[in-house]
Amino acid sequence: MESLNFIIQYAVPFLAILTVLVFVHELGHFLVARWNGVKVEVFSVGFGRELWGFDDKHGTRWRLSAVPLGGYVKMFGERDTVSVSDSVSGDDDERPMTEAETRVSFHHKKLRQRSAIVVAGPLANFLFAVLVFWIMNAMFGIPKILSAVGTVMPNTAAEDAGLQAGDLVVSINGQPITLFRELSEIVSVNANVALDFEILRGDQVVRVQATPREWKDPGENAADQAAGPSRGLLGVRPSMEMVQTTRTGVVEGLKLGFEQTYFYSAKILAGVGEMFSGERSSKELGGVLSIAQFSGEAAQSGLVTTLRFLAILSINLGLINLFPIPVLDGGHLVFYMVEALRGKPLSEKLQDYGFRLGLGLVLLLMVFATWNDLERLIDKFG
């Protein structure tokens, strides 16, 4: 029974979300390949044995495969020869392409066309995130957490000042505020500074004075703490019941969708940069198990949370595929950049070595991320 609950709560949402994102990514490759006259032989969601499929009028085999952890688009002519099988010996041989085959071959397309086809997958993920955010903004609105106190933490400046759960902060030092974000911004830059709070408590206006305490990120050692920036800490958490939702217009919602996609992209890249620089621990890197856990938690939290998670994960997928690692789309683009500089592509042998190296790096990264997931599960469940 517990296994069945786990499958329903985590595995099903994870596979549903992953299938949507893989389909979107591969659809980007597929559409731009078709627009550039490339014949697409297979469009597969998943790997391995085909569970279900059909052929469209253009000769593309659409497949749903047994291992639902990814997918691919197989384009005709990814090399300059065609493999043929000998019906007598069963051996494979290669022959030059005919003129008709060359016209629909990926390998024979111009460099800009091949580059466009490769970059279309990640781009589709970014545009899908914009679309999801747009739908959320226009249909469900943008939630804004009001400047209400949900919880007063013990032994903090807020407790010393007499702040109480349910208090609505309407101004600080005479500056009107309505959002909890505004409260946090003022407090964070006023460590050890006495601040005058005007509060609505029930139907009464109360004025209190609080002095945010100085707080520094402890880092990994004393030297990190001494060098790190400090900020003011009041010691309150917001009330999640005091949320104001504002729907946007169609145009405003679309513009905000692009801004949100850019914001999360920059935030994810900044996090990756901090891992490389040592500012953040690589233990934060999560793998398939973490994604499955977050997928299940998002699904249990409702449609809005699921859509937000779907958009953010789509951005992650787009960014990861642009990393300059052979096997990923970004690796192909690096090869194309070299081709543009040299005036001719790298040798097939060198590209093959590059792809093997890239595959090894990706597999090592997956193993490391999964190990982090397992350590977190062990810590959680003992």
Please give the positions annotated as active site. Answer: 26
Q: What is the full DSSP assignment across 255-296?
A: HHHHHHHHHHHHHHHHHHHHHHHTSS-GGG---HHHHHHHHH
Pinpoint the alpha helices (H) of 136-249: 157-161, 180-188, 222-227
**CA atoms of 293 and 380, how far apart (whole Å):** 13
Indicate if the alpha-carbon torsion angle 270, 276, 280, 282 is positive or negative. positive
Which helix (DSSP H) or strand (DSSP E) does residue 309 occupy? helix 303-321
DSSP class of 79: S
Angle at 132 between CA 127 and CA 136, to 5 degrees: 145
Q: Up-side HSE of residue 191: CA atoms within 13 Å toward CB?
A: 10
- Give which of 298, 306, 355 is closest to 326, Cα–Cα: 355
Burial of 326 from C-beta contacts in 10 A (0-12 / 13-18 / 19+): buried
Indicate if the alpha-carbon torsion angle 200, 202, 205, 207 is positive or negative. negative
**CA atoms of 151 and 169, how far apart (whole Å):** 13
CA–chain centroid gap for 73, Å, is 21
DSSP class of 179: B
